[in-house]
A and B are shown apart, each in its own frame.
Chain A
């Protein structure tokens, strides 16, 4: 019995003293002559240590070409590199694998100079062939890459042509305003490892979680070390990485990044609070007060990065419906189609309460599709009408609505105005928004029911069956550039939620919007383009296809040990500069 006690004590100490078991990460390679390193401007750190990150769900794949889910992209982003990168803090592009690039005078071709002496994480040299191969894969219809659409400009995919070993030219069918931004997050693949599986047509199966680490290579700061199903995925330093700090030490500083799959946000928070993870990326505002309370005695810092790019909105079903199939909805649609009805609803919604109750005050009310988080593109001139029930009632009256003696709102046929709002039950904040809206609209005499449904049931109704009255959803979070949202606003776009499958613009203002958006797409000068996009935003805000509600702030945190921590309001929020992150105190300071 006593022996057992001693044994377990030993075991306990051995496990709690885990830090002494150093990781076996490779040391950074010596810098070779002719190696064109990018120099980071970040504070000089020290080598060593493991950064532990909690992920809500397990990544599904390591294939950068097919990955769509957040966790996979978070991991893959650390293992891969792109030609031109969007700095997540400044939201501007900066050189990555491409040391420089030039746009031709007609705006139709890009010539990209590649960095010299770069090697993949397995030591194999990188050249223009890898770039050409990568774009061949991304643009191959049979591979079904979700990135393909971004690389398709004016209906034609861009083409990559090798000029010499370190120069590639990209040709486009028309001038393109977002320009070099399209290269962001397009991972450059190792041709020497993937050519075979690509030619055999098994590319989708090439980079799964079960692929052996030594057959995966990338150009990112880290490479795969270990994957334990359902538990964690560990990345280790890429000893050949192409960035160095100001003192000439090759990055990254961290020996390893361990991604733990914790299950959900609550678990993510608890693991962070207990010190098992070192950073937390984007948690919901509800949890902020409880997290902030423990900030002092647990030694972590929380950062509120201000409004995100996410915009939440209410929209009505304006689809052309077969009237025999959806009698009820067809009867309601004349209300929804009336701009004054939508304006009245927008006026009646208490956005301040939404921010306060759904986001715990950590968010901003919005009246347009671009949030204050998008500093480059927001139209600051957009009006922000104050909530006003009397004004809303006037609008309804002018649209022919009336009220019965009990205060119930009646339409032109003197039928009571009653409808339902669907929303995804897995998003507590949106359920809250819908519930608050229902209560607000009761003050106009409308009888509104909130129906939370499972996420895919909502998707099915919005995209397929069109069997709903109104819906609360949120979009945004990808790129700050307007082009990322084109499919939402173009009348033939695939996420044109309020009226799917429009073959031609259903209303004059939608035609106008299409024209504006198409014009900004080919306008290269930022100022001109911004003016056009401001106009588009005003058009949207005036016609209210979406009734914009609020945008939550981006909230992140890190233990005090994590240095060079510079989170950004764009995905992936905290790990975008993983190559520069280092841990104070811990690890051997070989760099100094």
Chain B
């Protein structure tokens, strides 16, 4: 009972995150590609509750920021007039949860090198990145489970062929194939098509590792007493694989899943470099993260780590969720194996 309540709580957190991302247009104060060129590399906007007169406001307000002359991108607050945050305000492009008057800016997580609001980009970018990573994880695990399961269960020539092809997949310089794929595509690819392409490519490359892991477990699992017993009762091999052998790989699969999702999100940055990722100005966590691998951003613009923080937070909810599901599953599973 306690278990279920916990899963429920985690699922709620999970839902909240995805809701924010799904309804990015509502939660984000700005369009993700809107450039505020006078405010490039601005720090997160400070929310104030106490004004210059020492008066406390329940509704937070912000001061407009003005560029400081000199080296780099420096700004200071202009405390002469404050602008309150408006909730649920209607703008030309729909209703926004948070907004301020156009004289001031509301950059909750600061801005990037074009003066684009990182918070808004994070919400919009999460859509593509998380979806692509999840689909890719699903795809590579599906192929991995099928390949590893069949190889391990049936053994012999089937095993040899599948495992050698997994080695082939691991060894080939994919980068050239990706460049070739990019070359055969039209120059401009719509974000939705990019999404499908991304997940297909990542999924197709990522199955070899899980396949090896699962094959190892299956090799052992199919010789368990209860599997042999079922075989003795005349169950077909396919049935055995599906019903008795693969459930035992659940631990490996969940462990793989939670490690693959964040990795795949980051992998998109590499694909962007080859021209296969989400191109500017459309945001994705991958291309936002790739900015955070440069000396200048890491050393000067710490707030550009926001996608990293978001990815960690989301991955943690996945991890806890997967763990809880796995434990619940293991309970059912072990009950079954006794039966």
Q: Do chains A and B touch in the complex (CB under 8 A)?
A: yes
Which residues of A are in contact with B by a Cβ distance under 8 Å?
Answer: 265-266, 269-270, 286-290, 292-293, 350, 353, 356-357, 360, 420, 422, 425-426, 428, 431-432, 434-436, 438-439, 449-454, 457, 460, 467-469
With a cutoff of 8 Å between Cβ atoms, the chain A residues found around residue B294 in the complex are 266, 286, 428
Contact between A469 and B187, CB atoms less than 8 A apart: yes
Given contacts A289-B73, A454-B275, contact A435 B296 (CB under 8 A): no
Task: Report which of B37, B187, B272, B300 forms a contact with A425, defined as CB distance below 8 A.
Answer: B272
Q: How far is the CA of A279 from the CA of B72 in the complex (A)?
A: 22
Also in contact, A454 and B279, with CB within 8 A (given A290-B295, A290-B299, A468-B187): no
Q: Which of B274-325 contact A (CB under 8 A)?
A: 274-275, 279-281, 294-296, 299-300
Decide if B275 touches A457 in the complex (CB within 8 Å): yes
Q: Which residues of A contact B275 (CB under 8 A)?
A: 425, 451-454, 457
- Give complex CA distance A420, B73 in Å: 30
**Contact across chains for A432 and B113 when beta carbons are under 8 A apart:** yes
Tell me if B209 is interfacial: C-beta within 8 Å of chain A. Answer: no
Evaluate whether A451 and B281 lie within 8 angstroms (CB atoms) in the complex, with A287-B295, A289-B72 already known: no
Please determine whether B179 and A454 come into contact, CB atoms closer than 8 angstroms. yes
**In the complex, chain A residues whose CB is within 8 Å of the CB of B37:** 350, 353, 356-357, 436
For the complex, is B182 an interface residue (Cβ under 8 Å from A)? yes
CA separation between A265 and B188, bound complex, in Å?
30
Cβ of B211 under 8 Å from chain A? no
Out of A293, A422, A426, A454, name the residue touching B187 (CB < 8 Å). A422
Contact between chains at A450 and B274 (CB < 8 Å)? no
B296 touches A292 (CB 8 A): no
Alpha-carbon distance between A501 and B37 when the two chains are bound, in angstroms: 40
Known: A357-B40, A425-B273, A457-B182. A451 touches B299 (CB 8 A): no
Closest chain B residue to A454, Cβ basis: B274
Q: Binding site of B, secondary structure by majority: helix, strand, loop or mixed?
A: loop
- B256 on interface, CB distance cutoff 8 Å: no
* B71 contacts the other chain (CB 8 A): yes
| B contact residues around A422 at 8 Å (CB) | 187
What's the dominant secondary structure at chain A's contact region? helix
Given the known inter-chain contacts A425-B272, A435-B280, A450-B279, please indicate yes or no for A270 contacting B295, CB distance below 8 A: yes
Closest residue on chain B to residue A452 by CB atoms = B275
Q: Are A425 and B274 in contact (CB under 8 A)?
A: yes
Whether A449 touches B188, Cβ cut-off 8 Å, given contacts A289-B73, A425-B274, is yes
Q: Once the chains bind, are A292 and B71 in contact (CB under 8 Å)? A: yes
Which of A428, A434, A453 gathers the greatest number of chain B CB atoms within 10 Å?
A: A453
Write out the residue numbers on chain B whose beta carbons fall within 8 Å of the beta carbon of A449.
Answer: 187-188, 279
Q: Is B79 in the interface zone, CB < 8 Å from A?
A: no
Residues of B within 8 A of A292 (CB): 71-72
Complex A-B: 28 CB contacts under 8 Å: A286-B296, A287-B296, A289-B71, A289-B300, A292-B71, A293-B300, A353-B37, A357-B114, A420-B188, A425-B272, A425-B275, A431-B280, A432-B113, A434-B280, A435-B114, A435-B280, A438-B280, A438-B281, A439-B35, A439-B114, A449-B187, A450-B279, A450-B281, A451-B279, A452-B273, A453-B274, A457-B183, A469-B187
Q: Which of B35, B280, B296 contacts A450, CB < 8 Å?
A: B280
The answer for the CA separation of A269 and B37 in the assembled complex, in Å, is: 27
The interface residues of chain B lying within 8 Å CB-to-CB of A357 are 37, 40, 113-115
A428 to chain B, nearest CB (A): 8
**A434 to chain B: which residues have CB within 8 Å?**
280
In the bound complex, how far is the Cα of B273 from the Cα of A289, in angstroms?
Answer: 25
Determine if B40 and A356 form an interchain contact, defined as CB atoms under 8 angstroms apart: yes
Encoded as 1 (CB less than 8 Å from any A CB) or 0, chain B from 50 to 71 comes to 0000000000000000000001
Question: What's the nearest-Cβ distance from chain B to residue A435, in Å?
Answer: 4
User: In whole Å, how far is B129's beta carbon from the nearest beta carbon of chain A?
Assistant: 18
Tell me the minimal C-beta distance from B51 to chain A in angstroms: 32
Q: Does A454 lie within 8 Å of B273, measured CB to CB?
A: yes
- In the complex, the answer to whether B279 meets A452 with C-beta atoms within 8 Å is yes
- Smallest CB gap from B293: residue in A: A266
Q: Could you tell me the distance in whole angstroms from the C-beta of A447 to the nearest C-beta in chain B? A: 9
Across the interface, name the chain B residue whose C-beta is closest to A328.
B186
Partner of A290, one of B33, B183, B274, B300: B300
Cβ contact within 8 Å between B179 and A451: no
Q: Given A289-B71, A357-B40, A425-B273, are A436 and B35 also a contact pair (CB < 8 Å)?
A: yes
Nearest 6 Cβ contacts at the A-B interface: A289-B72, A266-B295, A453-B275, A449-B188, A420-B187, A435-B280
Q: Check A457–B179 contact: CB distance below 8 A.
A: yes
Contact of B274 with A288 in the complex, beta carbons under 8 Å? no
Are the CB atoms of B114 and A432 closer together than 8 Å? yes
> In the assembled complex, which residues on chain A have CB atoms less than 8 Å from the CB atom of B183?
457, 460
Q: How far is the CA of A467 from the CA of B183 in the complex (A)?
A: 10
Q: Which of A270, A292, A420 has the most CB of B within 10 A?
A: A420
CA separation between A402 and B178, bound complex, in Å?
40
Whether B71 and A288, one on each chain, are in contact in the complex, defined by CB atoms closer than 8 angstroms, is: yes
Nearest CB to that of A439 among chain B residues?
Answer: B35
Across the interface, which residues of A come within 8 angstroms of B300, CB to CB? 289-290, 293
Q: Nearest CB to that of A435 among chain B residues?
A: B280
- What is the distance, in angstroms, from B97's C-beta to the closest C-beta of chain A? 25
Of all chain A residues, which has the CB nearest B287? A452
Which residue on B lies nearest to A460, using beta carbons? Answer: B183
Q: For B35, B187, B273, which residue has the most chain A Cβ atoms within 10 angstroms? A: B187
A452 B280 Cβ-Cβ under 8 A:
yes
Query: Are B72 and A360 interface neighbours, CB within 8 A?
Result: yes
In the bound complex, how far is the Cα of B36 from the Cα of A356, in angstroms? 13
Q: B174-207: contact bitstring with A at CB < 8 Å (1 yes, 0 no)?
A: 0000010011000110000000000000000000
- A290 contacts which chain B residues (CB < 8 A)? 295-296, 299-300
- The B20-67 residues at the A interface (CB cut-off 8 A) are 33, 35, 37, 40
Which residues from B are CB-within-8-Å of A439? Answer: 33, 35, 114, 281
A431 to B296: give the CA distance in the assembly, Å. Answer: 17
Q: Assuming A290-B295, A439-B33, what are 9 further A-B pairs, CB within 8 angstroms?
A: A286-B296, A290-B299, A357-B37, A357-B40, A428-B294, A451-B187, A452-B275, A453-B275, A457-B274
**Bound complex: CA A141 to CA B114 (Å):** 49
What residues of chain A lie closer than 8 Å to B72, measured between beta carbons? Answer: 288-289, 292, 360
Closest chain A CB from B305 CB (angstroms): 15
Bound form: Cα–Cα A439–B279 in Å = 14
Q: Mark B263-277, 1 if CB is under 8 A from A, else 0.
A: 000000000111100
Contacts of B71 in A (CB 8 A): 288-289, 292
Q: CA A287 – CA B71 in complex, angstroms?
A: 11
- Measured between beta carbons, the chain B residues less than 8 angstroms from A360 are 72-73
| Cβ 8 A contact of B188, one of A269, A451, A460 | A451
Chain B residues in 8 Å Cβ range of A426: 273
Q: Give, as a whole number of angstroms, the nearest-CB distance from B112 to chain A.
A: 10
| Residue of B whose beta carbon sits closest to that of A421 | B187
B76-119 Cβ-contact flags toward A at 8 Å (1 or 0): 00000000000000000000000000000000000001110000
B98 CB to closest chain A CB (Å) equals: 24
| Cα of A449 to Cα of B273 in the assembled complex, Å | 16
Residue in B closest to A425 when the chains form the complex, CB atoms:
B273
B73: A residues at CB distance < 8 A: 289, 360
For residue B274, which residues in chain A have a CB less than 8 angstroms away from its CB? Answer: 425, 453-454, 457
Is the CB–CB distance between B272 and A452 below 8 Å? yes
C-alpha gap A353/B272 in the complex (Å): 24
Residue numbers in A under 8 Å from B188 (CB-CB)? 420, 449, 451
B254 to chain A, nearest CB (A): 35
A residues near B280, Cβ cutoff 8 Å: 431, 434-435, 438, 450, 452
Q: Which residues of B contact A468 (CB under 8 A)?
A: 187
Task: Give B274 Cβ to nearest chain A Cβ, in Å.
Answer: 5
What separation, in Å, do the CA atoms of A353 and B36 have in the docked complex?
Answer: 11
CB closest residue in chain B, given A465: B183
For A452, the chain B residues whose CB sits under 8 A away are: 272-273, 275, 279-280
Residues of chain B lying within 8 A (CB to CB) of residue A350: 37
Rounded to whole angstroms, the CA-CA distance of A493 and B127 in the bound complex is: 47
- Least Cβ–Cβ distance between A200 and chain B, in angstroms: 36
A473 to B332 CA separation, bound complex (whole angstroms): 61
Output the least CB separation between B87 and chain A (Å). Answer: 29
Q: Which residues of B contact A453 (CB under 8 A)?
A: 182, 274-275
